Amino acid sequence: MNNYKIIEFQSHGDNTGKLISLERGGNIPFDFKRVYYIYNTKKNTQRGFHAHINLKQVIISVSGSCVFALDDGMQRREVMLDNPARGLLIKGLIWREMKEFSDDCVLMVLASEHYDIDDYIYDYKAFTRKVNEKK
């Protein structure tokens, strides 16, 4: 599966704490137009269950943890997001599901485009059809 990548961010730390900086064209390899965060997710809930047609995203668990499942129509991978110094870059047609959120989980998402409902695919069968079109 090559539509995703883990990016390691440099953490600037000293004995007072840590800081990570995100820069477009630097450690974030696209021009992001939008940042949003997912938090206060209720116990045992799952989120996502969609794919994007054109959107690029970097997803970072700035607090707590969750499991992020990626599916490209052929293979499925699960990535544990539990480290603010690590970003999950998704740049292609990938079905996403998120689960096992810790109470303190805050997922920050940098997105290459403004919110556009027409970029979403919410039906898994429609997603696999789109994957096959692109082959």
For the annotated catalytic residues, the residue numbers are: 50
Question: Minimum distance between the CB of residue 122 and ligand TYD, rounded to whole angstroms?
Answer: 9
- Beta strands 57-63 and 86-90 are antiparallel
Q: Which of positions 23-52 make contact with ligand TYD (CB under 6 A)?
A: 34, 36, 38, 47-48
9 or 32: CB nearest ligand TYD: 32
> N- to C-terminal Cα distance for the chain?
14
Q: Specify whether the CB–CB gap between 12 and 20 falls below 8 A.
A: yes
Question: Minimum distance between the CB of residue 37 and ligand TYD, rounded to whole angstroms?
Answer: 10
Question: Minimum distance between the CB of residue 49 and ligand TYD, rounded to whole angstroms?
Answer: 7
Q: Is 122 in the site for ligand TYD (CB under 6 A)?
A: no
Per-residue tokens: 106? 């805050």
Rounded Cα distance between 59 and 108, Å, is: 6
